[in-house]
Structure 1
Amino acid sequence: IFHPMSGWLRLVTLAALLCSLPTADGGKVLVFPVEGSHWVNMKVLIQELYSRGHHITVIRPKTSIFIKAESPHYQSISLDDGNEFDANFMNYFTTRMLQLRREFHTSTAAYFKAGEELMTMMHHAHKPVVDKMQEIFEDAKLMQLFQEAKYDVVLTDPCFGGGVLLAHRLGLPLVFNVRWTILEDGHHTVAPSPLSYVPIPGVKLTDKMTFWQRVLNVLIALMVRNNHMTIKESYYTPFVHRHFGPDVHYDELVQAADVWLMRTDFTFEFPRPTMPNVVYMGGFQCKPSKPLPQHLEDFVQSSAEHGVIIMSLGTLVGTLPEDIAEHVAATFAQLPQKVIWRHTGKRPSTLGNNTLLLDWLPQNDLLGHPKTRVFVAHGGTNGLQEAIYHGVPIVGLPLMFDQDDNLFRMRVRGIAKVLEIGTLNKDNFLEAVKAVLYEPSYRENVQQLSRLHRDQPMKPLDRAMFWIEFVMRHKGAAHLRTNSYKMSWIQYHSIDVIALLLMSVMMMSLICILTVKCLWCKVFGERKAKLD
């Protein structure tokens, strides 16, 4: 028998289901991402935007390893080429950097060679991006498709310039998911960065520098600026002049972005000046841990009171050179803890029964497990922020890119021991792991940092969503942008004003001197004449 209340119950249930579905009036977001670990955190933003009812289109190269063509969260436009992440070249680059790092302690030349290899890699990466943008701009059908889609905003990572160029060509508001622009920290592109107390990433300096450290900071800043200019002038400047006019500069297009979502915060950064359109979302990808798969949970629980050590070297490095892997495995075998190690290479002969090798591991869920004691990491931003979020101390093995600088920041905060891969052996690795395991200060410091990071009025991911949607609602955020990027270097630093004031002071001083001289001559000249 049909009961009247059951009809109402069905209607209420249907209404609840409809409310839970993405709304039809969501905005349209065009995403131009970057490969590798950059895609890992861009995907977090995409999934959250989708859950809020927005329609997302992702531009991806057909050869992409990480960015899938099919997804429930976005539609994709696959391009024939333009992949800044060439898998074969990146494998070569990674291997080469590991080789050079092993020579750092014996050869100063290895440092310079590593710098050369990095610049070669950057040229290799930026050129196909600009070449692909040339093809896109000349493809009338594709550009018409972009125009007719009527996107509300472009979301991109300015580590490479493709999204910046496309957004300005389409005349769309622009939001950055950013830590780096071309070879420099995003802050140094958009915000005042006094070199007296803002260290250049990679120099391993804090915000408290001695005189000679400030000298070093300035010299490295000039070198970084030169490398930035080399890449920009080689690829982006000719493209911008061709398509946007001879008076337009690439840096202007970057600095004209509406909002900069910075993948960092001040538990990670040293205090420094910032700008109104810079929004900090450090740790936005972090979340409470989920239950582990049963086989992993059983392994973790078997550690009893000793707990678990997690080791992962990030997206690009699944294995270490065999001799180093042997040292690492031998060290783990001497510990009472259980170890879960993401390792895709040859099984080390010194591997102990306490160590589980995996091709992939649920890093966030393992870091959030109450039995996790130490995280052995390469120093990627994502992993370090997850370690801070969950309050897990770190043993760092930096390999390339910004990892040395990231781990240096963790070391000066007292939450990490850092080893150089070239000098690693089972003795110093064991010493470092035991120090982080058994010296209480490491865990106390990281848990304090975790409390600071979590104590915010708004979750970082919610903050990011608010500002993306803000830009969509208001068709940009021009009121938050400074016009300083339109000024020349002389105007920005008021060199012309200082020069005018100095000349004015000099002219007034000269006039005063001449006036006094004239009066002196007149008064004392007349008196002398009378005496004569």
Structure 2
Amino acid sequence: MHSSSPWGNLSFLSLVSFLLLLPAPSCHGGKVLVFPVDGSHWVNMKVLIEELHARGHTITVVRPSTSWYITEESPLYTSITIKEKESLYSFFETFLQRHFEAQIEGVSALKFFQLTKEFLNMIEEAHILSCNTLARMFDDKELMKSLQDAQYDMMLTDPAMAGGMLIAHYLKLPVVLNARWITSGEGHFSIAPSPLSYIPVPGSGFTDKMTFIQRVQNMLHYSIIVYQQRFMVGPSYDAICAKYFEGGCDIISLIQESDIWLMRSDFVFDFPRPTMPNVIYMGGFQCKPAQPLPPELEEFVQSAGEHGVIVMSLGTLVNALPVDITDQIASVFAKLPQKVIWRHRGKKPSTLGNNTLLVDWMPQKDLLGHPQTRAFVAHGGTNGVQEAIYHGTPVLGIPLFFDQYDNLLRLQERGAAKILELAMFNGPNFQQALNQVLTHAPYRENMQRLSRLHRDQPIKPMDKALFWLEFVMRHKGASHLRTSANRMPWYSYHSVDVLLLLLAAGGGVLLSTGLLIRILWRTCRKNRNKTKQH
């Protein structure tokens, strides 16, 4: 027989009353203006946009008419399309072709400087195009008025191209950066103490344990970044600042004044370094548990049996390597007992084996998380590296350009990846490197250890990102987290003026002491002479 208790009813009523008294979520459905960067950067930005949209925020995306990936129509956002005459993609394709050729031939000192010059010229051209787009926006009074009238709560932008910073400055909006890169390179170098003695400059190919010669080279790499910002990138933005802002502005200062930096990295992946309280690490924020594969793909994967599957992808920007290299890769794959799923959009390799499936697109995250996957052959882009860490899949890296070698180096230093550069690439080397990653247990063990470390966090990276995005909307910024160091002149920041004062004071004391001793000595000498005369 069941009997009800008045105490049970009271407890239930108390619980209901307690729940009703709980405060509602404190962030209203905000209005977010997004100024993204195209290509693989957009892949990251879109993930944040999807989550913001799911939480009831209204998003507007500014996109160029020549965009590669940012669609004009989307259920996630409304778009503002700015007409552009040129696309950066043609410059990028030309640079990639030259870069591939140089790596295959081997990079001499002269070739290195030529490639560096070409790279800097491409970066300069990209920022010139970006500033031309900005000028068209600022000249369109109707557009700028509509942006002002919209009363956005926040600007979310990628500072690799700094147009969003200037639009936010014009509209007086708080700024959140979806960042790792800014106009002058890696973002940490502009906001946090960055001793070059143990913090490698991207592109240097060094770890945090450098020899004396490597520290010298690291300093030279940093000087290239300073030169790039001051003489190649900065002037384009200075011209916009001078023309459209009373009193001018400085693009690096605007970037430094951003409220929150959502940094696409973490210290499972990156080397430890000083940081700042407004830098929120969200490395792997785009990663999720693997979902079931499409039936046809699942059938192919399962057909591999105990040997498993190899996944190969070169990211969103590179469709294919040179034909002779792809033929060598296909030939090696054909000899393996594993099945291979290869994202390849170029000419079909003549040596393709029956065990290899070529695809235009693949569910990369789901494949990397599949229990049948044994290795990931990748170019070393940030997204792919972080997804490999999340799912614990060892990597054979073939770095192509930008930060990819540095990304792969961080995994190789932790014993979770092996690097094979294009300059050393041939069939036998590729086969040997791939067999090492497949058969040497430490590669998988070390990567799975990184995966456990990455997942063992009190708050998921995406939840951290969303909290701080909504924090900025709730509080109209996060100025209390910004350091005043960015507003100090260099001589004050490094205490050069204090050191000079102390040196001057110390020198003055020494000089005064010396003069006093000299005077006393002369006085004593005179007194002695007088005594002798008497």
Which TM-score band applies after superposition, normalised by the shorter structure? over 0.9
Partners in 1 of 2:80 and 2:154 — Cα distance? 16
Aligned to 1:491: 492
CA shift, 1:229, in A, is: 1.5
Aligned to 2:70: 67
Instruction: Give the 3-state SS of the residue equivalent to 1:102 in structure 2.
Output: helix
Partners in 2 of 1:247 and 1:65 — Cα distance? 32
Q: In the TM superposition, what whole-angstrom CA distance separates every residue of 1:353-403 from its partner, at most 9, and x where no partner exists?
A: 110011111100100000000000001000000000000000011111111
Partners in 2 of 1:249 and 1:192 — Cα distance? 20
The question of whether the paired residues in 2 share the 8 Å contact of 1:82 and 1:129 is answered with no
Aligned to 1:80: 83
Instruction: Give the 3-state SS of the residue equivalent to 1:376 in structure 2.
Output: strand
Partners in 2 of 1:326 and 1:481 — Cα distance? 52
Q: In the TM superposition, what whole-angstrom CA distance separates every residue of 1:11-55 from its partner, at most 9, and x where no partner exists?
A: xxxxxxxxxxx9994000000000000000000000000001100
Q: Does 2:378 correspond to 1:412? A: no
Aligned to 1:42: 45
Count of equivalent residues: 509
- Taking the TM superposition and a 5 Å limit, the aligned residue runs for 1:218-229 are 218-229=219-230
Aligned to 1:320: 321
Partners in 1 of 2:131 and 2:528 — Cα distance? 81
Q: Does 2:113 correspond to 1:112? A: yes
The question of whether the paired residues in 2 share the 8 Å contact of 1:24 and 1:53 is answered with no
Partners in 1 of 2:451 and 2:350 — Cα distance? 37
Aligned to 1:93: 95
Aligned to 2:403: 402
Q: In the TM superposition, what whole-angstrom CA distance separates every residue of 1:387-443 from its partner, at most 9, and x where no partner exists?
A: 000000000111111111111111111111111113311100000000000001100
CA shift, 1:176, in A, is: 0.2
Aligned to 1:3: none
Tell me which moved more, 27-36 or 113-122: 113-122
CA shift, 1:247, in A, is: 5.8
Q: In the TM superposition, what whole-angstrom CA distance separates every residue of 1:334-356 from its partner, at most 9, and x where no partner exists?
A: 11000000111111111111100
Q: In the TM superposition, what whole-angstrom CA distance separates every residue of 1:297-319 from its partner, at most 9, and x where no partner exists?
A: 00000110000000000001111
- Taking the TM superposition and a 5 Å limit, the aligned residue runs for 1:412-491 are 412-491=413-492
Partners in 2 of 1:325 and 1:471 — Cα distance? 47
Partners in 2 of 1:526 and 1:175 — Cα distance? 77
Aligned to 1:230: 231
Aligned to 1:355: 356
- Taking the TM superposition and a 5 Å limit, the aligned residue runs for 1:82-161 are 86-105=88-107, 107-161=108-162
Q: In the TM superposition, what whole-angstrom CA distance separates every residue of 1:132-171 from its partner, at most 9, and x where no partner exists?
A: 1112112111111001101000000000010000000000
Aligned to 1:206: 207
CA shift, 1:217, in A, is: 1.4
Q: Does 2:172 correspond to 1:171? A: yes
Aligned to 1:188: 189
Partners in 1 of 2:27 and 2:490 — Cα distance? 47
CA shift, 1:234, in A, is: 2.7
Aligned to 1:253: 254
Aligned to 2:21: none
Aligned to 2:34: 31
Tell me which moved more, 93-102 or 151-160: 93-102
CA shift, 1:131, in A, is: 1.1
Structure 2: which 5+ runs fail to align?
1-24
Tell me which moved more, 129-138 or 42-51: 129-138
The question of whether the paired residues in 2 share the 8 Å contact of 1:104 and 1:111 is answered with no
Partners in 1 of 2:518 and 2:94 — Cα distance? 76
Taking structure 2 as the reference length, the TM-score comes to 0.93
Aligned to 1:296: 297
Distance of aligned partners of 1:348 and 1:197 in 2 relative to their CA distance in 1, 3 Å threshold: same
Partners in 2 of 1:401 and 1:91 — Cα distance? 14
Q: In the TM superposition, what whole-angstrom CA distance separates every residue of 1:103-148 from its partner, at most 9, and x where no partner exists?
A: 225x332222211221121122111111111121121111110011
Instruction: Give the 3-state SS of the residue equivalent to 1:204 in structure 2.
Output: coil
The question of whether the paired residues in 2 share the 8 Å contact of 1:82 and 1:128 is answered with no
The question of whether the paired residues in 2 share the 8 Å contact of 1:82 and 1:131 is answered with no
Partners in 2 of 1:242 and 1:88 — Cα distance? 29
Instruction: Give the 3-state SS of the residue equivalent to 2:370 in structure 1.
Output: coil
Identity, % of aligned pairs? 54
Q: How much is the aligned-residue C-alpha RMSD, in angstroms?
A: 1.6
Partners in 1 of 2:26 and 2:198 — Cα distance? 47
Tell me which moved more, 214-223 or 354-363: 214-223
Partners in 2 of 1:271 and 1:149 — Cα distance? 41
Structure 1: which 5+ runs fail to align?
1-21
Tell me which moved more, 204-213 or 67-76: 204-213
CA shift, 1:243, in A, is: 2.6
CA shift, 1:261, in A, is: 0.4
Letter matched to residue 338 of structure 1: K
Q: In the TM superposition, what whole-angstrom CA distance separates every residue of 1:504-529 from its partner, at most 9, and x where no partner exists?
A: 11011100111111111112321133
Aligned to 2:54: 51
Q: In the TM superposition, what whole-angstrom CA distance separates every residue of 1:33-88 from its partner, at most 9, and x where no partner exists?
A: 000000000000000000011000000112212001111111111111287x5232
Tell me which moved more, 340-349 or 240-249: 240-249
Partners in 2 of 1:124 and 1:222 — Cα distance? 20
Q: In the TM superposition, what whole-angstrom CA distance separates every residue of 1:170-192 from its partner, at most 9, and x where no partner exists?
A: 00000000010014100001111
Distance of aligned partners of 1:23 and 1:255 in 2 relative to their CA distance in 1, 3 Å threshold: closer
CA shift, 1:448, in A, is: 0.4
Partners in 1 of 2:134 and 2:65 — Cα distance? 15
Taking structure 1 as the reference length, the TM-score comes to 0.93
Partners in 2 of 1:346 and 1:247 — Cα distance? 51
Letter matched to residue 49 of structure 1: L
Partners in 1 of 2:497 and 2:384 — Cα distance? 46
Aligned to 1:368: 369
Instruction: Give the 3-state SS of the residue equivalent to 1:177 in structure 2.
Output: strand
Partners in 1 of 2:33 and 2:50 — Cα distance? 14
CA shift, 1:245, in A, is: 4.0
CA shift, 1:212, in A, is: 2.2
Instruction: Give the 3-state SS of the residue equivalent to 1:29 in structure 2.
Output: strand
Partners in 1 of 2:383 and 2:331 — Cα distance? 28
The question of whether the paired residues in 1 share the 8 Å contact of 2:263 and 2:283 is answered with yes
Distance of aligned partners of 1:505 and 1:247 in 2 relative to their CA distance in 1, 3 Å threshold: farther
Letter matched to residue 95 of structure 1: Q
